[in-house]
Each structure stands twice: as structure tokens, then as C-alpha cells.
Amino acid sequence: MADERTILTGFLQYQRETLAMKCAGLTTEQLKQRCVPPSAMSLLGLVRHMAEVERVWFRIRLSGEDIPYRWKEGPGDDTDFQIDKADPQEAFEAWDEECARSRDIVHAAESLDTTGRHRGEDYSLRWILAHMIEEYARHNGHADLLRERIDGSTGE
């Protein structure tokens, strides 16, 4: 049986890999396709959103880095989902970079009880990992529906 950190990071990595799998082999047009009206959600928008979420929770909130959002102008802004002019290669590179940085931060953390602050509240690394698993799982459900509408592909 693995320890708690290994279990949490393993499930988070599985969720990351699932999103990558849902996007694999698609054209730019397919990644940008908004195929579940009235939602404006697309696979590319999900990738950009998750890059932003990784950046915010691990780098800004947990590590306290003073860095800007990548695409958003602030909390509540949905610019990460606005993909008309977005470049898929740039989005996937950004997501890969943010995931790698997140893994480094988690690896360097002294314990799962390490905390970061957001809006005056402390959040433990344990909570952030659980939240990230939930965030990916929810959006992977969206990705599954989008991918099925694009080309009929289903699974994991």
C-alpha cells in the first residue's frame, strides 16, 4: 500500500493523462470545436483552463509566487476558455510546463500539511491535491462528452 502523498499524486497524474488522451490525435479545428450547445466549452479551452488552474493553485496560492495569470485577467474571468485565437501548441506547452512545475512544488513540499493562502484562508497541500483531482475529474467528464461528439471516441 502506498503512502497518502503517492496515492494523491498518482490519482492527479492519472487525471492529467486522461485529459491528454481525450485531446490526442485531433486537429486544431477539432480541439476548438464547441459541440455541446449552448456551452462554449471546447477541449482546447479545457486544456487552457487546467493550465491556469495548475498555475493558480500550486504556484500562486501554495507557493506564494508573485506571477500573473497566464490568460485570465483575474478571478472569475473566463479568458482561458476563449479559444478563437488560441494556439493549441502554445496551450499544450503551457499546460505541460504548469504540470511539471506543480509536480516539482509537490515533491519539494515538506508534508501534505504544508499550506498556502487564498482569500484569507489556509489550504493544505493535501486539500489542494484532492481539489485538483476533483477539478480534473469534473472536466474530464466534459472532455469525454466533447470527444464523443467530435469523433465518437469514448473510454477512460
Residues 79-114 pLDDT 10s: 778 888 999 999 999 999 999 999 999 999 999 999
Average pLDDT of 121-138? Answer: 97
Alpha carbons 73 and 71: distance in angstroms, whole number: 7
Residue 156 domain-assigned (yes or no)? no
- E-strand ranges in 4-114 read none
pTM of the model: 0.94
Residue 22 domain-assigned (yes or no)? yes
By the 8 A CB rule, do 109 and 95 touch? no
Q: What residues make up the domain containing 40?
A: 4-151
Q: What is the grid cell recorded at 111?
A: 508534508
Residue 138 domain-assigned (yes or no)? yes
- Give 44's pLDDT tier (boundaries 50, 70, 90): very high
Check residue 72 and give its pLDDT: 77
Q: What is the CATH number of the domain that holds 45?
A: 1.20.120.450
- Residue % of the chain over a pLDDT of 70: 97
